């Protein structure tokens, strides 16, 4: 019986460790090719900061294996950005009122133009790009030699940021051009153009103009990209559902393990007591001790043979 409890205990432990390992190696935790590219382009964009001046854009150079992609970096003070904005940063016009989260004293806007790499890193089956995918991401600019920096979140609290796609291709006859915005998870959202070849956004991300070549219009609301309110999408909702499910399953497995552990401890204690009793019985009966005068002496609990007179009829 003791061996069975040991076996069940170790099986449950292996199951928990295996589940934890699978969760740690899940595809959700590994960066996508687009996210890896963002980190690489941040590194190369920061290399353009040689004796940099605040408020001056600097064009960077990409490695030969990424020829066709254009990058730039612009360093600003957060307070100046909020009060003045910045006009004509490549295709982006940044209005006043942009807030950076978390707050940093200096930030750097890194610009991407993916060119002919757009459909590779941001595939959209059934859609045709009329303009290259453009990116606008923000990073802490305190250490200009840092790599693998996390992106800062920025929100335009009043007017939207506009993107003027100056090199967009003409819209094919019979099709309607749409703006597309990719968040950091690569999830696309579609909106109408603000004006000819102009899109708008309140947030960071990657943007382009596309046409639906299949004839089936994507479901989306007209206007600019999501405003300064909290953002929710199907991908993040699904991720939360999986996390909740994983937590419930993990809690259930932990409870089963705890019950099995308690049962094993109880059984082990019981078996140990039985073993001790059998050991005492094998040694012999232990007599109780009592004090006789100034010494301790063993005494039996009762006489085994009651005393009887040799002759009960003796007068």
Q: Which long-range contacts (CB under 8 A, 24 or more apart) does 85-93 make?
A: 86/55, 89/57, 90/57, 90/134, 91/134, 91/163, 91/164, 91/165, 91/166, 92/134, 92/136, 92/161, 92/162, 92/163, 93/161, 93/162, 93/164
Mean per-residue pLDDT for 212-226?
Answer: 61
Report residue 255's pLDDT band, with 50, 70 and 90 as the boundaries. Answer: confident
The pLDDT of residue 23 = 46
Does residue 172 surpass a pLDDT of 80?
A: yes
Mean per-residue pLDDT for 153-169?
Answer: 95
Mean per-residue pLDDT for 118-141?
Answer: 97
Does residue 151 surpass a pLDDT of 80?
A: yes
The pLDDT of residue 264 = 72
Q: Cβ(99)–Cβ(157) under 8 Å?
A: yes
| Digit-coded pLDDT (tens) for 233-251 | 444 455 555 566 667 767 7
Contacts of 171 (CB under 8 A, 6+ apart): 130, 177, 211
Burial 178-194 (b: 16+ CB within 10 A, else e): bbbbbbbebebbbbebb
d(CA 125, CA 191): 17
255: its two tokens? 């409870």
d(CA 153, CA 93): 17
Which one is predicted more confidently, 96 or 298? 96
Does residue 66 surpass a pLDDT of 50?
A: yes
Q: Which of 65, 162, 47 minimizes the C-alpha distance to 110? A: 47
Report residue 71's pLDDT band, with 50, 70 and 90 as the boundaries. Answer: very high
The pLDDT of residue 241 = 54
| Digit-coded pLDDT (tens) for 2-28 | 555 454 444 554 545 454 444 444 444
Mean per-residue pLDDT for 63-80?
Answer: 96
Report residue 214's pLDDT band, with 50, 70 and 90 as the boundaries. Answer: confident
- 97: phi then psi, degrees, rounded to nearest 5: 90, 15
Which one is predicted more confidently, 277 or 219? 277
Give me the chain's average pLDDT, please: 80
Does residue 62 surpass a pLDDT of 50?
A: yes
Which one is predicted more confidently, 315 or 215? 215
Does residue 201 surpass a pLDDT of 60?
A: yes
Does residue 226 surpass a pLDDT of 70?
A: no
The pLDDT of residue 106 = 96
Q: Which CATH class is domain 31-231?
A: mainly beta
Q: What percent of the chain has pLDDT over 70?
A: 66
């Amino acid at each position: 019986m003791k061996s069975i409890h040991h076996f069940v205990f170790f099986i449950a432990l292996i199951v928990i460790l295996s589940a934890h390992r699978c969760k740690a190696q899940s595809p959700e935790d590994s960066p996508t090719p687009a996210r890896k590219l963002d980190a690489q382009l941040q590194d190369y964009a920061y290399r353009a900061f040689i004796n940099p001046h605040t408020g001056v854009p600097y064009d960077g150079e990409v490695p030969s294996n990424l020829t066709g992609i254009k990058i730039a970096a612009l360093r600003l003070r957060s307070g100046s950005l909020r009060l003045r904005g910045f006009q004509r940063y490549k295709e982006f016009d940044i209005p006043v009122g942009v807030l950076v989260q978390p707050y940093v004293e200096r930030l750097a806007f890194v610009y991407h133009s993916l060119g002919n790499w757009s459909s590779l890193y941001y595939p959209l089956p059934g859609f045709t790009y009329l303009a290259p995918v453009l990116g606008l991401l923000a990073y802490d600019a305190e250490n200009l030699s840092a790599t693998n920096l996390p992106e800062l979140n920025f929100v335009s609290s009043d007017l939207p940021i506009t993107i003027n796609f100056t090199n967009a291709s003409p819209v094919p006859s019979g099709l309607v051009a749409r703006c597309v915005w990719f968040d950091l998870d690569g999830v696309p959202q579609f909106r109408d153009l603000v004006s000819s070849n102009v899109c708008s956004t309140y947030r960071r991300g990657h943007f382009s103009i596309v046409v639906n070549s299949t004839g089936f219009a994507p479901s989306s609301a007209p206007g600019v990209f999501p405003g300064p309110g909290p953002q929710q999408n199907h991908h993040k909702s699904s991720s939360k559902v999986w996390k909740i499910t994983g937590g419930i399953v993990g809690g259930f497995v932990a409870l089963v393990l705890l019950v099995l552990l308690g049962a094993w401890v109880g059984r082990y204690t019981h078996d140990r007591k039985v073993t001790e009793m059998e050991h005492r019985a094998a040694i012999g009966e232990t007599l109780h001790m009592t004090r006789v005068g100034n010494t301790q002496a063993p005494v039996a609990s009762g006489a085994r043979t009651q005393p009887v007179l040799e002759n009960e009829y003796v007068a």
